[in-house]
Amino acid sequence: MTRDQLSAELARRGLPQSMVCWDGPGIGECYAVEHGASGWSVYYSERGARLGERTFAEEVEALRYLLGWIVGDNS
């Protein structure tokens, strides 16, 4: 899965693109994707906390996981 594919799937499901902050936490609460020395981290950013953080070796794995997480939280 690519960033464009994730964005398209969120749009298809009627979920706002602003739910995801790319390259680290943004302003406010969001699901974040960040590339670092350990790989691709996915977490929920809330008040500076990195909740539910998981790290993946490949971006495609991280984005698949993130989509499942977002869909599960918004079902």
Q: Is the pLDDT of residue 59 over 80?
A: yes
User: Percentage of the chain with pLDDT > 90?
Assistant: 79
Encode pLDDT of 18-31 as tens digits.
899 998 787 789 99
- Domain locations in the chain as residue ranges: 3-73
pLDDT at 69: 96
Instruction: Give the 3-state secondary structure of the chain.
Output: CCHHHHHHHHHHCCCCHHHEEECCCCCCCEEEEEEECCEEEEEEEECCEEEEEEEECCHHHHHHHHHHHHHHHCC
Predicted TM-score (pTM) of the model is 0.89
